[in-house]
């Protein structure tokens, strides 16, 4: 039994170190990819119920790795956060997103806003200033930008975070809370936050038409948002039943494969104009 035990822990530590070294090499690859700008962006529409052309769009990063294939943002964003690379990467995403948006508008698309995901790790004392510089460089108006942040970032209570958010709000940039319902927002705090949009997490949308709990949660989010003058986006809408239920609840925006998959900038333009 002893020998077996030792064997097991040996296998375990081998697996662990294999995991560690693959993470390390992925981090090195990520570093190179940031330096060489090996990323691309995809865009997914947000639709008013019943409309087929999106008025808003969310930016999603892609990393086509030459050996590993597409690496999921769920895998590399945490690594970019822990390594500090997220700051440079985040500004690259923002710069590209603003530029694509400008180009779509110049080609006649009538988009109101573009949303960009922002991690907590990106926010330091120079965040707002750099965002402002990027908007100026691309001729992009602050009112066209929406930054998607998490509940925990919005609710952190950190002075620096609040400063940066208020600085951007003063310019006209709006904020939405991503994956809403999965964190620990208190309603009283939400009331004080400069938030324009709540995004109902996909986990509540998935079974909304046949799970009473999920339906009630979505209903409560829409009702609460309504009373606070905040709009709601439902994410991950994949079928008609989900879409109809959300529309019936009074959800203002719908996003998901049912309405449009994320696509490259030129496909987005061709598809919707």
- If contact means CB under 5 to 8 A according to the sort of partner, which of ligand C2E, Ca ion, none does residue 61 touch? ligand C2E
- If contact means CB under 5 to 8 A according to the sort of partner, which of Ca ion, ligand C2E, none does residue 134 touch? none
Q: Please give the size of the binding site for ligand C2E, defined by CB under 6 A.
A: 21
Residues between 120 and 159 with contacts to ligand C2E, criterion CB under 6 A: none
Q: Does 236 bind ligand C2E (CB under 6 A)?
A: yes
Residues between 77 and 106 with contacts to Ca ion, criterion CB under 5 A: none
Binding mask 21-60 for ligand C2E (x = CB under 6 A): -----------------------x--------------xx
Stretch that binds ligand C2E, among 45-53, 163-171, 182-190, 229-237 (CB under 6 A): 229-237
Token digits for 40?
């691309």
Pick between residue 1 and residue 206 the one whose CB is nearest to ligand C2E: 206
Q: Which of 36, 72, 186, 188 binds ligand C2E (CB under 6 A)?
A: 72
Q: Does 174 bind Ca ion (CB under 5 A)?
A: no
Instruction: State the Cα–Cα distance between residues 181 and 209, nearest whole angstrom.
Output: 17
- If contact means CB under 5 to 8 A according to the sort of partner, which of Ca ion, ligand C2E, none does residue 176 touch? none
DSSP-assigned states of every residue in the chain: -HHHHHHHHHHHHHHHHHHHHHHHHHHHHHHHHHHTT--EEEEEEEB-TT-SS-SEEEEEEEEEETTTEEEPHHHHHHHHHHHTTHHHHHHHHHHHHHHHHHHHHHTT----EEEEE--GGG-STTHHHHHHHHHHHHT--GGGEEEEE-HHHHT---HHHHHHHHHHHHHT-EEEEEEETSS---HHHHHHS---EEEE-HHHHTTTTT-HHHHHHHHHHHHHHHHTT-EEEE----SHHHHHHHHHHT-SEE-STTT---B-HHHHHHHH-
Q: Does 178 bind ligand C2E (CB under 6 A)?
A: yes
Binding mask 246-265 for ligand C2E (x = CB under 6 A): ----------xx----x---
List beta partners, residue 62: 40
Tell me which residues touch Ca ion (CB under 5 A).
117, 148, 178-179, 235
Tell me which residues touch ligand C2E (CB under 6 A).
44, 59-61, 72-74, 77, 93, 117-119, 178-179, 235-238, 256-257, 262
């Amino acid at each position: 039994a002893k020998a077996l035990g030792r064997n097991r822990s040996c296998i375990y530590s081998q697996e662990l170190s294999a995991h560690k070294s693959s993470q390390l090499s992925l981090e090195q690859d990520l570093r190179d990819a940031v330096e060489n700008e090996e990323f691309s962006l995809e865009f997914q529409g947000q639709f008013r119920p019943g409309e087929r052309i999106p008025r808003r769009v969310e930016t999603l990063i892609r990393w086509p790795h030459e050996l590993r294939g597409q690496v999921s943002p769920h895998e590399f964003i945490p690594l970019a956060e822990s390594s500090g690379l997220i700051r440079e990467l985040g500004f690259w995403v923002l710069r590209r997103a603003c530029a694509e948006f400008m180009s779509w508008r110049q080609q006649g698309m009538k988009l109101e806003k573009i949303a960009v995901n922002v991690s907590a790790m990106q926010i330091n004392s120079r965040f707002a200033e750099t965002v402002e510089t990027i908007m100026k460089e691309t001729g992009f108006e602050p009112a066209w930008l929406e930054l998607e942040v998490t509940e925990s970032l919005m609710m952190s209570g950190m002075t620096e975070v609040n400063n940066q958010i208020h600085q951007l709000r003063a310019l006209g940039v709006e904020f939405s809370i991503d994956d809403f319902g999965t964190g620990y927002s208190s309603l009283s705090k939400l009331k004080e936050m400069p938030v324009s949009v709540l995004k109902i997490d996909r986990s509540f949308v998935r079974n909304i038409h046949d799970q009473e709990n999920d339906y009630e949660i979505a209903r409560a989010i829409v009702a609460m948002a309504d009373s606070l003058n905040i709009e709601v986006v439902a994410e991950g809408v994949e079928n008609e039943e989900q879409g109809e239920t959300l529309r019936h609840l009074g959800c203002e925006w719908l996003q998901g494969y049912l309405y449009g998959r994320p696509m490259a900038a030129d496909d987005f333009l061709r598809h919707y104009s």
